[in-house]
């Protein structure tokens, strides 16, 4: 069971990062935290990259169809124009943002905002993804969530690409990706490599 960290005595804002593979519940956890903040009468705003239109243009939607209204932005610095009276800032799909997202989040925290970020920590090649490694380095709180590997039932930490596209960013769902444990991920890559 996940226990939220205690924030008593915090003098400024802070950064929380929720990371993991695809289908691990990152967005679900982000939405849960933001809804709890709203229930506590805190002013909340959530942002997502404009390019992520998989489920909806303006809603952040989890794989189990939980949703929350968001503001799609092209660049991370656009967030500044929407947060004047906001207590809590949510950011989904952080791996798709530019490198400036790290500075944006740190400035928001210094101004007293609670910043909650969700994103893939690794791309389909198993490499650190976009600004996520730097966000993990500066965060006060980190939650790594896991999916279940459909091949063996172990904890899945990797996003395995089912298609043969080689670009780093390929939007897709279960048609293009599945979560895999370290071993099944590696076995799939060895098979793919030998078939080329």
Higher per-residue pLDDT: 187 or 175 = 187
**Nearest CA-CA partner of 48 in 10, 85, 1, 89:** 89
**Taking 80 as the threshold, does the pLDDT of residue 91 lie above it?**
yes
Q: What is the pLDDT of residues 118-150, one digit of tens each?
A: 999 999 999 999 999 999 999 999 999 999 999
Report long-range pairs for 80-86 (Cβ below 8 Å, ≥24 apart): 80/104, 80/107, 82/45, 82/47, 83/45, 83/108, 83/113, 85/43, 86/43, 86/44, 86/45, 86/113
Q: What is the pLDDT of residues 52-83, one digit of tens each?
A: 655 555 656 555 656 677 889 999 999 999 98
Domains assigned to the chain: 14-145 (3.40.50.300)
Residue 62: helix, strand or coil by DSSP? coil
**Taking 80 as the threshold, does the pLDDT of residue 40 lie above it?**
yes
Catalytic residue among 93, 100, 173, 178: 93
The average confidence (pLDDT) of the chain is 87
28 carries an active-site annotation:
no
What φ, ψ does residue 40 adopt, rounded to 5°? -85, 15
């Amino acid at each position: 069971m996940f226990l939220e960290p205690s924030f008593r005595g915090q003098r400024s804002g802070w950064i929380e990062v929720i990371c993991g593979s695809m289908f691990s519940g990152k967005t679900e956890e982000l939405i849960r935290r933001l809804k709890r903040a709203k229930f506590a009468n805190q002013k909340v705003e959530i942002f997502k990259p404009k390019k992520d239109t998989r489920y909806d243009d303006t809603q952040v939607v989890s794989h189990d169809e939980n949703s929350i209204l968001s503001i799609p932005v092209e660049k991370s610095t656009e967030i500044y124009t929407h947060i004047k009276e906001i207590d809590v800032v949510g950011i989904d799909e952080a791996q798709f943002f530019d490198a400036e997202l790290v500075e944006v989040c740190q400035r928001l925290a210094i101004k007293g905002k609670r910043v909650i970020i969700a994103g893939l920590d690794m791309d389909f090649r198993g490499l650190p993804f976009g600004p996520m490694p730097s966000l993990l380095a500066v965060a006060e709180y980190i939650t790594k969530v896991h999916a279940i590997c459909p091949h063996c039932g172990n904890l899945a930490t990797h996003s395995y690409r089912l298609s043969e596209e080689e670009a780093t960013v390929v939007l897709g769902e279960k048609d293009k990706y599945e979560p895999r444990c370290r071993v099944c991920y590696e076995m799939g890559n060895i098979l793919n490599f030998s078939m080329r």
